[in-house]
Amino acid sequence: MQSRFLFPHHYRRIGWFIFLPSLALGLACMYGDFRFDFLDFDLGIQGNLFDSGTLNFTDEIASIGLIVSLLFIAFSKEKVEDERIAQLRLESLQFAVYLNYAILGLQILVVHSSAFFEIMVYNMFSVLILFIIRFRAMIYSDNQAY
């Protein structure tokens, strides 16, 4: 069965190429308050109670880079895309969604205040990360069986 919604196989390499710098940039933005000055934009709003009038898009670039790279890594075709791979892909995706929401439910009960925002930022990427880990592990164990 041919899947219509998978990227070509070489997109996985492109995904890894985008992932590493995006991850580094995202962590630097989140924990090091890193910003690229050339990504500052003046909104023309002065005296607003909630905004300083300047917006920096560094963290948005990192987030988009992470999303695109994880999608490329997760949903690129294998060299041999057969029924078994499709079944492993489906089972891995289902497992990742279940596990992600179980972890999120636990975090909703346990984590409060400003740390909850951090949890939600990580949650944007965790489904794809859990899927990639599970799918790669299942392919590895499937290959070891043969």
CA-based torsion, 27, 31, 36, 40: positive or negative: positive
What tens digit of pLDDT does each residue of 12-42 get? 999 999 999 999 999 999 899 899 888 888 7
DSSP β-ladder status, 40-42 and 54-56: antiparallel
> Residue 118: pLDDT band by 50, 70, 90 thresholds?
confident
CA 122 to chain centre: 8
Which residues, 6 or more positions from 3, have their beta carbon under 8 angstroms from its beta carbon?
77, 81, 86
Give the confidence band of 2 by pLDDT, cuts at 50, 70, 90.
Answer: low
Average pLDDT over residues 70-81: 94
> With the C-alpha atoms ordered 26, 28, 29, 34, is the resulting torsion angle positive or negative?
negative
